[in-house]
């Protein structure tokens, strides 16, 4: 829309460098390469390191992030790829399911910047992926860095959420306080 301005937050300052996993689906290789270049430039500017992995398609991006979040040691994740509308409803499934899965992972504590483009045609994708134009890869990296910064800001505070793991309950009972918490 002409005349519309967008506000972009400055990159957060991190006391300790972040380690970020970039997961990209390179189905449209030219688009993916630009998304990765934009993401890496922003991560480098913030002093973060990155590891890049490729997966077959947009639906595999959240699966790879979920595996890494469970089994590896990353501070955050950048999800990159491109889904271009075709002649079938497969487009809707891939867009909705990949986005929903990334959101659910975020709600479970993963710091994810979503840079999976969902567009009507290759021209739209090219503009959005270009680091010198809309730089959506860089925007996804910035989003991940902001979430990492928030997590670190609040990381010292842990609150119960209405239940205790069974082992903790047993330890408290054996310590003589009957499992009471103050």
DSSP 9: P
Exactly one of 6, 7, 90, 146 is catalytic; which is it?
90
Report the sign of the C-alpha dihedral through residues 78, 137, 152, 47, in that order: positive
Q: Is 122 part of the annotated catalytic residue set?
A: no
Using alpha carbons, select from 119, 134, 127, 24 the residue that is nearest to residue 78. Answer: 24
Backbone angles phi, psi at 114, to 5 degrees: -95, 110
- The rounded distance, in Å, linking the Cα atoms of 37 and 170 is 50
Listed in sequence order, the residues at least 6 apart from 40 whose beta carbon sits closer than 8 Å to its beta carbon are: 22, 50, 52, 141
Active site residues: 90
């Amino acid at each position: 829309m002409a005349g519309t301005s967008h506000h972009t937050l400055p990159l957060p300052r991190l006391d300790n460098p972040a380690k970020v996993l970039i997961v990209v689906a390179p189905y449209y290789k030219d688009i993916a390469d630009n998304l990765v270049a934009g993401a890496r430039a922003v991560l480098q500017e913030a002093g973060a390191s990155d590891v890049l992995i490729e997966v077959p398609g947009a639906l595999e991006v959240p699966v790879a992030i979920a595996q890494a979040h469970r089994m590896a040691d990353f501070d955050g994740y950048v999800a990159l790829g491109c889904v271009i509308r075709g002649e079938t409803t497969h487009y809707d499934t891939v867009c909705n399911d990949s986005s929903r899965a990334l959101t659910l992972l975020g709600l479970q504590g993963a710091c994810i910047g979503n840079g999976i483009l969902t567009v009507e045609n290759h021209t739209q994708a090219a503009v959005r992926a270009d680091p010198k134009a809309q730089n959506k890869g860089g925007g996804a990296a910035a989003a991940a860095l902001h979430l990492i910064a928030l997590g670190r800001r609040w990381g010292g505070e842990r609150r119960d959420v209405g239940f205790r793991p069974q082992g903790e309950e047993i330890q408290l009972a054996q310590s003589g306080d009957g499992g009471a918490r103050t």
